[in-house]
Amino acid sequence: MRTPAGSTDQGRLPVIVGVAQVVNRSEGPQDAREPLYLMTEAARTAADDCQVGGLLERADSVQVVNTVSWAYRDAPGFLAEAIGARPREKVYTAVGGNGPQWLVSRTAEAIVRGDVRLAVIAGGDAMRSRARWRETAQQRWRHWAAPQRMLGDTRAGVNDVEVKHGAHIPARIYPLFETAIRAHRRRSIAEHQRHLGELCARLSQVAAHNPYAWFRQARTADEILTVTPENRMICFPYPKFMNAIMEVDQGAAVIMTSVAAAQELGIPRDRWVYLWGCADAVDIWYFSERTNLHSSPAMALAGQRALEMADIAIEDIDWFDLYSCFPCAVEMACEALGIAEDDPRPLTVTGGLASFGGPGNNYSMHAIASMVERLRREPERKGLVSAMGWYATKHSVGIYSGLPPSASGGEWRRRDSPADQAGLDAAAHPALAEAPEGRGTIEGYSVGFNRTGEPEASIVVGRLEKGGRFMANTPHDRDLLLWMTQEEMVGRQAVVRQDPEKGKGLVSIE
């Protein structure tokens, strides 16, 4: 029987057939494990999850998510060697937490085209082992070397002006978005902090019941909000319990194939989970040049296109896992996807990066694995995973179900396009002034704290009256910095001048 025009042969539909997660709670140098070990264990366990022997050596595609804690010259090649595979394709991603979903979506396309038959996709990071047992454990690890090749956009996540003003790590950048969101939603600082505490408490409730979570502790909103020596302020408005925790050893893997190949290999039907829809999009690359700091047009477009491909509405989704490195990432995703703040549906299936753990770029592989496990138990349900790279820059969305996308047949085809991305790139946005001078209005700010609980630095982003965006720092004045955590700065007028000694902007707030 011929497949109707515009339809996809049901045998070519992509399915996830194996998933696994591993956690290594190293308590001494003898327990330290490198990333390659974690991803190898995950791949082997994912193969066991398929309930068919001899799968790994048949993989014709081996793919690895970019590692943060250790670099390998050829990570997918080393993984292939470890699992006994001789793949035609080896893939290693560029930096970005969107990598896991991006790989799954890309692989699904290749399976539909017939270019890939069986793919192993894995990732892992070992920041705990590296941080705690640096001198002894790493002598046993494979030699560190720069990767030969990375697939995807390899640009740095920040520009020189951002770095110059201290905006060069996530913990100092995402708070800028949060203060902009707070002002956009017209909340007081106290009201918004309460909202953040309740949001993070909601995520931690899931982590408490997840055996793979690093912190299996359900925290209350008050615990998350209250600054203590254990929960010190990292960068206002985020105390530690609102930050992604990267000092973990975690790995995850998925195995993908087609319906026809799964049948030929004898993989039980109750292992299969389908990718109904997927999409990718990128916001204006540098956050300091975006139209605003409180929204993500690329996330909105990726979500829209993934839902269009799945031919469902956001109301049809039963479970979400929204990328959650910081609360603002969840808030941006909810707004972009049209999820109400009081929506009762789960926003995470793992517990979020602050409670589950943030294994470098590979967190969303755990989200996908967790979603697959849920959908196997209740195959008629639908789940959405959103993944994010750099600073709310790169976005990937996947929609999953335990049932095939169309019982009567249909076309499995992505709806996102180069034209979509061209439209996002061409959107009107302010130019970042390299040496700003003059009056302006504050759009977002953050205040960094040291380990003793003292404020040590601030970053201010705003619009100049004469046009363009400015970045600046305030003078290092303890009273001023504390005042910025107690009174709303967004919307205030400011005067920017150049510090000739440091070559960066200094701002006076009115």
Residue 58's CATH number = 3.40.47.10
Residues 358 and 307 in one domain: yes
Q: Does the pLDDT at position 453 exceed 90?
A: yes
Mean residue pLDDT of the chain comes to 95
Residue 408 confidence (pLDDT): 41
Residue 6 confidence (pLDDT): 53
What one-character-per-residue DSSP string does 153-213 give? ----SS-HHHHHTT--SHHHHHHHHHHHHHHHTT--HHHHHHHHHHHHHHHHHHHTT-TT-
Q: What is the DSSP code (8-state) at residue 93?
A: B
3 state DSSP class of 234: strand
In a domain, 489, yes or no: yes
In a domain, 482, yes or no: yes
Residue 407 confidence (pLDDT): 47
In a domain, 291, yes or no: yes
Stretch 410-418: mean pLDDT, rounded? 92
In a domain, 206, yes or no: no
pLDDT per position as a tens digit, 147-169:
999 999 999 999 999 999 999 99
Torsion of CA 410, 415, 418, 423, to 10 degrees: 160
Residue 500 confidence (pLDDT): 85
Residue 157 confidence (pLDDT): 97
pTM of the model: 0.96
pLDDT per position as a tens digit, 286-304:
999 999 999 999 999 999 9
Q: Point out the domain boundary residue: 367, 394, 426.
A: 426
In a domain, 494, yes or no: yes
Residues 295 and 255 in one domain: yes
Residues 391 and 468 in one domain: no
Domain that holds residue 328: 10-152+246-403+415-426
Stretch 314-333: mean pLDDT, rounded? 98
Count of domains for the chain: 2
Residue 195 confidence (pLDDT): 98
Residues 397 and 451 in one domain: no
Residues 317 and 372 in one domain: yes
Residues 465 and 422 in one domain: no
In a domain, 241, yes or no: no
Residue 28 confidence (pLDDT): 85
Residues 269 and 398 in one domain: yes
Residues 144 and 290 in one domain: yes
Residues 369 and 458 in one domain: no
pLDDT per position as a tens digit, 163-199:
999 999 999 999 999 999 999 999 999 999 999 999 9
Q: What is the DSSP code (8-state) at residue 436?
A: -
pLDDT per position as a tens digit, 255-291:
999 999 999 999 999 999 999 999 999 999 999 999 9
Cis check: omega of the bond before 237, within 30 degrees of 0: yes
What the block records as the tokens of 253 is: 């893997």
In a domain, 287, yes or no: yes
Residue 5 confidence (pLDDT): 45
Residues 143 and 267 in one domain: yes
Q: What gap in Å lies between CA 18 and CA 29, rounded to an integer?
A: 31
pLDDT per position as a tens digit, 105-147:
999 999 999 999 999 999 999 999 998 887 776 778 888 999 9
Residues 357 and 481 in one domain: no
Residues 33 and 132 in one domain: yes
pLDDT per position as a tens digit, 441-451:
999 999 999 99
Query: What CATH number is associated with residue 501?
Result: 2.40.50.840
Locate all alpha helices (DSSP H) within 338-444, ordered by sequence: 363-377, 418-426
Q: For residue 52, count CB atoms less than 10 angstroms from its CB and return exposed for 0-12, middle for 13-18, buried for 19 or more.
A: middle
In a domain, 232, yes or no: no
**Nearest CA to 280 among 358, 123, 393, 382?**
393
Q: Does the pLDDT at position 8 exceed 80?
A: no
User: CB neighbours (10 Å) of residue 197?
Assistant: 22
- For tokens 């969840």, name the residue: 330
Stretch 24-42: mean pLDDT, rounded? 93
Q: What gap in Å lies between CA 250 and CA 247, rounded to an integer?
A: 10
Q: Point out the domain boundary residue: 359, 392, 426.
A: 426
